[in-house]
Amino acid sequence: MSPPTADQGGRVAGRQIRRLAEALDHPVGREDLFLSTVAEAVLARKLLEAGCTIDIERPTAGGRHADFHVRRGDREFWVHVKRIATPADAVPAPEVPAELDELRMLRRPVAVALRWSPAAGGAGLSALREALEPFVMQASVGDEILVRAEDGTWLGSARIAAPTTSGAVSLRAGADAGWEAAIPRVQRLMRKAYSQFMPGAANVICIASDTAAASESVETALLGSVIERWDRYPPRGHRVAHGRASDGFWSGGQCEMSSVVAWFPVDEGAPARVWERAAPAAPDARDAAAAAALREVLAAADEP
């Protein structure tokens, strides 16, 4: 593992990430542990290149450790890195057949998770599209439909996954179902990271994934499932307002010491994301500084 470009002569990298580099050069044990080390090394490199000083495996409380204690200027924060493995049933998104791609022309701001039978021919896919069109236009978030041919053969299925900011239907295929099932695992990782927090300090949970497909699962695990809210006025272009259910890591005021969560894909297939918890009072300056630092370090996208 080469030293970061910001490290003159590699002296800092030699002190700070020697153990990570050795673990990468001489992997032993389970593959998932090795891949977790890769994720930590990627983040360590980004922190060092951004001019941060890091200590690895710094003790916190109760005999636990943070992956990184980070200093940047006069600010410091503790980073707890957890990698979420790609679900076994998550496959690369296949190309949507032309017959089903026409669903994108429907004017409704929702994302639709779509599956279809590989054995369905043109006529079967057209029949599937005809069955899905009224469903896509009328169903609520979370609703699902399974479509069969007249002889009982499965043609495909669809689920209204979430509202979108666009004016038309967006289609998802492939890894969506596998990652949705992984949400409880993401929350378990968040709780494990939370148990390692340094009390009275700024702590950041940083979830890493191998690819960009985990982004929405991390967001749902953190903020809660998307639900329809009939007690609010819908935004322009939407028939109904949406909110979050009380099943998120931050829901209901739980895990009150956690205010910043970040996510990044190791393959850099999408921009990283950093979420700051909405505070009833003025946000803690230490948490705000940690969030700002992580956004810069990870070149994260702005959250709405």
For all residues of the chain together, what is the average pLDDT?
Answer: 82
Domain that residue 106 falls in: 98-173
Both 20 and 151 in one domain: the answer is no
The 10s digit of each residue's pLDDT in 6-44 is: 544 444 444 555 555 555 555 566 667 777 888 998 999
- Cα 195 to Cα 189, 248, 277: the distances in Å are 10, 17, 18
The C-alpha atoms of residue 217 and residue 222 are separated, in whole angstroms, by 9
Q: How crowded is residue 254: how many other Cβ atoms within 10 Å of its Cβ?
A: 12
303: exposed, middle or buried (C-beta count within 10 Å: 0-12, 13-18, 19+)?
Answer: exposed
The C-alpha atoms of residue 225 and residue 180 are separated, in whole angstroms, by 10
Long-range contacts of 225-231 (CB under 8 A, 24+ apart): 225/142, 226/141, 226/142, 226/162, 226/163, 227/141, 227/142, 228/140, 228/141
Four-residue CA torsion sign, 256, 274, 45, 47: negative
Give the whole-number percent of the chain exceeding pLDDT 90.
43
Both 278 and 146 in one domain: the answer is no
Both 29 and 126 in one domain: the answer is no
CATH code of 59's domain = 3.40.1350.120
Both 23 and 133 in one domain: the answer is no
The C-alpha atoms of residue 183 and residue 214 are separated, in whole angstroms, by 9
Residue 129 is predicted with a pLDDT of 95
Find the helix packing angle between 31-49 and 18-25, rounded to 10°.
140
The 10s digit of each residue's pLDDT in 225-281 is: 876 655 555 556 555 655 677 889 999 888 999 999 999 999 888 899 999 998 765
In terms of DSSP bridges, do strands 203-209 and 75-84 run parallel, antiparallel, or are they unpaired? parallel
Tokens representing 147 are 């479509």
Residue 292 lies in a domain: yes
Most confident of 81-90, 206-215, 226-235: 206-215
DSSP 141: T
Q: How many structural domains comprise the chain?
A: 2
The C-alpha atoms of residue 75 and residue 175 are separated, in whole angstroms, by 39
Whether the full predicted model's pTM is greater than 0.95, yes or no, is no
